């Protein structure tokens, strides 16, 4: 509710100045999660299409992600394994996207965000390949060496999607 006051020295009606509001960190995190989920979709679409074209099976990438939970059995798993892989993929993309949204400065422009997203995705690729996968999902880690081209493309798509964070932040302020 805005109140109008009367200034007797200038004989004008004035409104109090709106206080500058700094966006809450939640806005950046939420924007990052949204961008991360878009990236997850793009990564899955590419990797599943690539796997199918290579004769590995359309669901192979989601099965490999589920290796975190099922070990080597993930390779022969069915629908439950695939659902676990999809859920794990979405959660990880949300977490990494949320972290990016939190770290990205509030005033970052779209171009800066895209470049930062690509650099961040390169760091995520390195972290996942050389630290996380060997420990949590060695089945997937062994197969990454066979699909380096697709692995790089998927993380590039993820980085590009993170570039959308400023658009989601501004949408949330309206």
Work out the mean pLDDT of the chain and round it to a whole number: 89
Higher pLDDT, 27 or 59: 59
In percent, how much of the chain has pLDDT > 70?
83
Say whether 169 sits in a helix, a strand or coil: helix
Stated as kind and residue range, the H or E segment containing 127 is helix 110-127
Stated as kind and residue range, the H or E segment containing 13 is strand 12-14
Q: What is the pLDDT of residue 48?
A: 98
With 0.85 as the threshold, say if the pTM is over it.
no
Distance of CA 166 to the CA centre of its chain: 13
| Residue pointed to by tokens 């993930």 | 74
- Split at pLDDT 50, 70, 90, the class of 171 is low
In percent, how much of the chain has pLDDT > 90?
80
pLDDT, tens digit, 9 for 90 and up, residues 30-46: 999 999 999 999 999 99
pLDDT, tens digit, 9 for 90 and up, residues 122-167: 999 999 999 999 999 999 999 999 999 999 999 999 999 999 999 9
- Split at pLDDT 50, 70, 90, the class of 23 is very low
Please name which of 45, 80, 72 lies closest in space to residue 137, comparing C-alpha atoms: 72
The answer to whether the CB of 73 falls within 8 A of the CB of 64 is no
**pLDDT higher than 50, residue 168:** yes
**pLDDT higher than 50, residue 79:** yes
For 49-95, the DSSP string reads: HHHHHTTS-TTHHHHHHTHHHHGGGGGG--HHHHHHHHHHHHHHHHH
Percent helix, strand, coil in the chain, to 5, is 75, 5, 25
The answer to whether the CB of 155 falls within 8 A of the CB of 124 is yes
Q: What is the pLDDT of residue 154?
A: 98
Please report, for the chain, the start and end positions of each structural domain, with discontinuous segments joined by +.
Answer: 25-173
pLDDT, tens digit, 9 for 90 and up, residues 102-127: 999 999 999 999 999 999 999 999 99
């Amino acid at each position: 509710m805005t109140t109008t006051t009367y200034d007797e020295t200038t004989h004008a009606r004035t409104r109090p100045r709106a206080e500058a509001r700094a966006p809450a960190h939640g806005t950046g995190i939420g924007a990052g999660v949204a961008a991360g989920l878009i990236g997850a979709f793009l990564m899955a679409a590419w990797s599943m299409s690539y796997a199918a074209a290579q004769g590995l099976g359309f669901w192979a990438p989601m099965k490999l992600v589920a290796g975190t939970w099922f070990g080597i059995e993930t390779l022969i798993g069915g629908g439950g394994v695939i659902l676990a892989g999809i859920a794990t993929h979405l959660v990880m993309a949300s977490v990494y996207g949320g972290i990016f949204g939190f770290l990205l400065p509030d005033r970052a422009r779209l171009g800066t965000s895209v470049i930062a997203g690509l650099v961040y995705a390169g760091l995520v690729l390195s972290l996942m390949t050389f630290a996380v996968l060997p420990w949590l999902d060695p089945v997937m880690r062994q197969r990454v060496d066979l699909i380096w081209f697709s692995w790089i493309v998927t993380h590039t798509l993820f980085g590009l999607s993170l570039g959308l964070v400023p658009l989601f932040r501004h949408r949330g302020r309206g």
